[in-house]
Structure 1
Amino acid sequence: MDSITQAALGATIAGAVAGKQLGRSALLTGAVLGTLPDLDVVIDYGTAVANFTQHRGFSHSLFVLVPLAVILAGLLWHWRPQVSLARWLALTGLILVTHPILDTFTTYGTQLFWPIAPPLAISSIFIIDPLYTLPLLAGCVFFLARPPAMKVMAGALIVSTAYLGWSLAAQQIMTARVKPALAEAGLEDYRLLVQPMPFNTILWRATALTDDTRVEIVTGFLDGDGPLTLERFPRNPELRQQLLALPEVQRLEWFTGGFMQYNQNGNDITATDIRLGIPGAHPFTFVVAENTDDQLLPRGSTRLPRPALQPNATDLLWARIIGRAPVLCLSTLSLPGPGEGC
């Protein structure tokens, strides 16, 4: 999740656990601890792909964070002994462990059991979702006004956690909705990713991959009973097979679960994580090789600039979320006219 949400979650946990003993300083302590695992972004691993796939790595591993929580609890206990060691352990442990667990609910991927397991990505919540974050921020504001408000902080945690539970239920409902449409379209042996569109859990995006095609569906809870709109995007299986010999491409395939798109732009060979963003505006595209004299040559990966969204993208998304627009074409990020398809 975004840094504001992680800081708010850490502050809320600290207020609920030790707000009576620490007062308003509990919020600052919790916010700092809540953002601690994300400091790995300052580490340069040498290439763009390495930086992309190492983020949420060791710093989000339970094998690292649990011992770190014990160490920090001991240090904080010596700093503020009026808070018992057990309470400090609860505070540091809950904050440091809930950070990567919350990240696991997003699509990016979190190496919760680094170094012995691949990334986990439940993909039931967008990386920024106001409905998850606002109860936490409201609890913190109330705490600042009337400390210690520990019951209010606990209530904020219950509400935000219940919203996470709703996101899981919504994801299953949307999965059940799109599978019959994919079967009717003749898709077999596909990999399926169902995730919310930005900033909400009402409108969802389903991505189905086969070797040679990708199908995208946008559907939501406020849609009518009309048929689902399927958009097809060609893949390049021959290029993918050539690139799989490259270590950095292998790393990307491992990190994304294979949800990658490979293209040739001039002499540059690019690899795009198609899970994140939307077609035409995926934020993570890397140049991983170059085509010289019809020969693919690996190169240290670089990340291309993030494509800019069109100015009315937010308005289009909102119209689709509330059901005012029955179809949103991802290929052009546009709303087709009545009776038109994508």
Structure 2
Amino acid sequence: MDSITQVALGASIAGAVAGQRLGRSALAVGAVLGTLPDLDVVIDYGSAVANFTQHRGFSHSLFVLAPLALLLAWVLWRWKPQLSLGRWLALTGLVLLTHPLLDSFTTYGTQLFWPFGSPVALSSIFIIDPAYTLPLLAGCLFFLIRPPARTALTVGLMLSTLYLGWTVAAKQIVTERVAPALAAAGLEQPELLVQPMPFNTILWRATAITDTEQVEIVTGFLDGNRPLHLETFHRDPALAQSVEELPETERLEWFTNGFLSYQRQAHQITATDIRLGLPGAHPFTFILAEGEGDQLVPVTSTRTPRPSVRPEMLGTLWSRLTGEAPMLCLASLTIPAPEQTC
């Protein structure tokens, strides 16, 4: 999740656990601990793909954070012994461990069990979702005005947790909705990713991939009985095979579970993570090799500039979310005229 959310979550937990004893300083401690796992972004692992796939790695591992919580609890207890060691451990443990657990509900992927296993990505909540964050911020605001405000903090944590549960249920409902439409299109058992569109859990995006095609469906809870629209994008298996043995390709395939689009741009071959962003505005595209035909030369991966998002996109997204617009064309990120399709 975004940094503001992690700060709010950490501060809320710390305030609820220790606010009565520590006062407002509990929020500061929780906020700092809540951002601690994300400090791995300052590490340069040597290439763009390495930086991308090792973020949320060791610093988000339960095997690393659990002993770190023990150590920090002891240090903080020595600093402020008015709070018992057990209460400090409850604070550090809850704040540090809920950070990666929350991140695992997003699409990016969180290596909860580093150095073992694959990233965990439940894909039920967008990385920024005001409906999750605002109750936490409200609780923290009440605390700052009239500490310890334990009831306000508890209510904020409960509302956010209930909302997180809703996201999981909503994803299951959408998955069951799109499955028949994909089967009717001949995609009975594709690799399927269902995730919310930006900033909400009302409008959802389903991405199904095979070796040769990528099928996208945008559907929402305000669509009524409107039929689903399938938008198809070509995938080039030959291009994927030309770089499949490169270590950085293997790393990307592992991290994204195969949700990649390979393209040739001039004399370069790129791989794009199609899970994140939207077609035409995917933020993570990497240059993997240069050359023509069989004369490909692997390069130290670099990331291409992030595509700009048009200001009017928020209005377009809102129109589609509310059901005012019956269709959103992902290829152009526009709403088609009445009686037209993508």
With the length of structure 1 as denominator, give the TM-score of the two structures. Answer: 0.99
- Counterpart-to-counterpart distance in 1, 2:80 and 2:258: 48
Moved more, 202-211 or 292-301: 292-301
User: Helix, strand or coil: the match of 1:126?
Assistant: coil
Aligned-pair distance for 1:293? 6.2
Q: Which residue of 2 aligns with 1:270?
A: 270
Aligned-pair distance for 1:74? 0.1
Aligned-pair distance for 1:311? 2.3
Q: Which residue of 2 aligns with 1:180?
A: 180
Residues 76 and 237 from structure 1, CA distance in 2 versus in 1: closer, same or farther, beyond 3 angstroms? same
Q: Which residue of 1 aligns with 2:303?
A: 303
Aligned-pair distance for 1:292? 4.1
Q: Which residue of 1 aligns with 2:241?
A: 241
Moved more, 331-340 or 71-80: 331-340
AA partner of residue 245 (structure 1): E
- Counterpart-to-counterpart distance in 1, 2:124 and 2:230: 21
Q: Which residue of 2 aligns with 1:209?
A: 209
Query: Does 2:47 match 1:43?
Result: no
Query: Does 2:150 match 1:153?
Result: no
- Counterpart-to-counterpart distance in 2, 1:331 and 1:293: 28
Q: Which residue of 2 aligns with 1:338?
A: 338
User: Helix, strand or coil: the match of 1:231?
Assistant: strand
- CA deviation vs aligned residue, 1:257-305 (integer Å, no higher than 9, x gap): 0000000000010000000000000000000101246411100000001
User: Helix, strand or coil: the match of 2:119?
Assistant: coil
Q: Displaced runs of 4+ in structure 1, greater than 4 A?
A: none
AA partner of residue 330 (structure 2): L
User: Helix, strand or coil: the match of 2:330?
Assistant: coil
Q: Which residue of 1 aligns with 2:6?
A: 6
Query: Does 2:32 match 1:19?
Result: no
- Counterpart-to-counterpart distance in 2, 1:148 and 1:189: 52
Contact 1:171 1:194 in 2 (8 A): yes
AA partner of residue 262 (structure 2): Y
Q: Which residue of 2 aligns with 1:219?
A: 219
Q: Which residue of 1 aligns with 2:319?
A: 319
Aligned-pair distance for 1:188? 3.3
Gaps of 5+ in 1: none
AA partner of residue 183 (structure 1): A
Contact 1:219 1:228 in 2 (8 A): yes
- Counterpart-to-counterpart distance in 2, 1:334 and 1:202: 19
- Counterpart-to-counterpart distance in 2, 1:3 and 1:113: 22
Contact 1:189 1:210 in 2 (8 A): no
Q: Which residue of 1 aligns with 2:252?
A: 252
User: Helix, strand or coil: the match of 1:264?
Assistant: strand
User: Helix, strand or coil: the match of 1:169?
Assistant: helix
- Counterpart-to-counterpart distance in 1, 2:217 and 2:295: 36
User: Helix, strand or coil: the match of 1:35?
Assistant: helix
Aligned-pair distance for 1:155? 1.2
AA partner of residue 101 (structure 1): L
Contact 1:111 1:119 in 2 (8 A): yes
AA partner of residue 47 (structure 2): T
- Counterpart-to-counterpart distance in 2, 1:75 and 1:42: 24
Aligned-pair distance for 1:75? 0.2
Q: Which residue of 1 aligns with 2:134?
A: 134
User: Helix, strand or coil: the match of 2:232?
Assistant: strand
- Counterpart-to-counterpart distance in 2, 1:292 and 1:184: 39
Q: Which residue of 1 aligns with 2:168?
A: 168
- CA deviation vs aligned residue, 1:309-332 (integer Å, no higher than 9, x gap): 122100000001111101011001
Q: Which residue of 2 aligns with 1:120?
A: 120
User: Helix, strand or coil: the match of 2:270?
Assistant: strand
Q: Which residue of 2 aligns with 1:60?
A: 60
Moved more, 52-61 or 302-311: 302-311
Aligned-pair distance for 1:105? 0.2
AA partner of residue 72 (structure 2): L
The count of aligned residue pairs is 342
Gaps of 5+ in 2: none
Aligned-pair distance for 1:187? 1.2
- CA deviation vs aligned residue, 1:31-72 (integer Å, no higher than 9, x gap): 000000000000000000000000000000000000000000
Aligned-pair distance for 1:224? 2.4
- CA deviation vs aligned residue, 1:69-99 (integer Å, no higher than 9, x gap): 0000000000000000000000000000000
AA partner of residue 37 (structure 1): P
CA RMSD between the two structures: 0.7
